[in-house]
Structure 1
Amino acid sequence: MTSAQCSRAGCRADAEWQVIWRNPRIHSPDRRKIWVACPDHVEFLRDYLASRSFPVEVASLTPSSTS
């Protein structure tokens, strides 16, 4: 199984977190997007989305969530 790489531009580290979000102006409440993040970038990605007032949550990335 291939591990997921961090969604931060230029980062090639293995992801350990899911950053779950949506843009309420264009996404319905049931539509959510997921970025994955390494430990070094999870806060950056969460803060980037939260600063735009997007609903965002962070959850652990488990092996079953990547299949």
Structure 2
Amino acid sequence: MSGRGNGTKGVDQGGSKRRRLILRENIQSISRQSIRRLARRVGVTKTVTIVDVVYTLKRQGRTIYGFGK
């Protein structure tokens, strides 16, 4: 066992690796903030914290100081 996948052989060797690379690139291009925004729109998080308000104001160009990080 060399630890390099599931040991497929034949013509289609490496197809899953390519798919995995494309998926990883797509996932890495999504920022954490956009995931948070989508979750808020879908209704996953129902509590709005001070950090959320500060973040939204910062996105709109109205930075507020004294809160958050």
Give TM-score, length-normalised by structure 2: 0.25
Give TM-score, length-normalised by structure 1: 0.25
Which structure features the higher share of strand residues?
1
Which structure features the higher share of helix residues?
2
